[in-house]
């Protein structure tokens, strides 16, 4: 893979991440702080309802033939699983269920496994090699989701006692 491609990818990923962090810090966090912890967690999981997008790597022409088959298979299985876990957690948070926190922990663990597998199967460049029309996912969608994954983790740590105490 040409070095310029990697540099452009890293620049776009970083720029989008910085923009999302600014938006979150300036606008989202002040608004979230006015809500109870159950509603905060529910809202922070909403962006993950687009995690089915990884299945598009299986569609001919979306990615180049040199795109890693292993990466496409991992994304086609784990992206929908992440979507399902996020949706289940949202329902659990809406119901103030005692299952909400375990579902979020499972969700976060699955995200970690997904990320490690993508980088491990064919090396660190594999997830971006041959992206073609799927380029926007790595440079826009993934940075947004990474920021929200950290928000979910930090809010879970911050509110775990209250969530546990008020769960039904």
Cβ-Cβ contacts under 8 Å for 71 (sequence gap 6 or more): 57, 118, 121, 122, 126, 127
Q: Which among 57, 44, 127 has a CA at the least distance from the CA of 89?
A: 44
Specify the pTM: 0.90
Tokens of 11: 């620049």
Sign of CA dihedral 123, 130, 8, 136: negative
pLDDT, tens digit, for every residue of 122-168? 777 777 888 888 899 989 999 999 999 999 999 999 999 999 999 98
Angle at 43 between CA 38 and CA 45, to 5 degrees: 100
Number of domains in the chain: 1
Q: Look up the domain containing 134 and give its range.
A: 3-166
């Amino acid at each position: 893979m040409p070095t310029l491609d990697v540099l452009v990818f890293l620049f776009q990923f970083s720029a989008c991440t910085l923009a999302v962090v600014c938006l979150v810090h300036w606008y989202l966090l002040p608004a979230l702080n006015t809500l109870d912890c159950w509603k905060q967690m529910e809202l922070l999981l909403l962006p993950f309802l687009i995690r089915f997008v990884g299945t598009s790597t299986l569609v001919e022409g979306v990615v180049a033939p040199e795109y890693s088959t292993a990466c496409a298979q991992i994304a086609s299985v784990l992206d929908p699983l992440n979507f399902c876990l996020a949706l289940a957690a949202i329902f659990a948070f809406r119901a103030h269920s005692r299952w909400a926190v375990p579902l979020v922990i499972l969700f976060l663990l699955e995200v970690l496994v997904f990320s490690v597998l993508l980088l491990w199967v064919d090396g660190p460049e594999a997830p971006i090699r041959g992206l073609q029309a799927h380029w926007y996912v790595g440079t826009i969608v993934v940075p947004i989701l990474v920021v929200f994954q950290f928000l979910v983790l930090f809010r879970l740590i911050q509110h775990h006692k209250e969530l546990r105490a008020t769960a039904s």
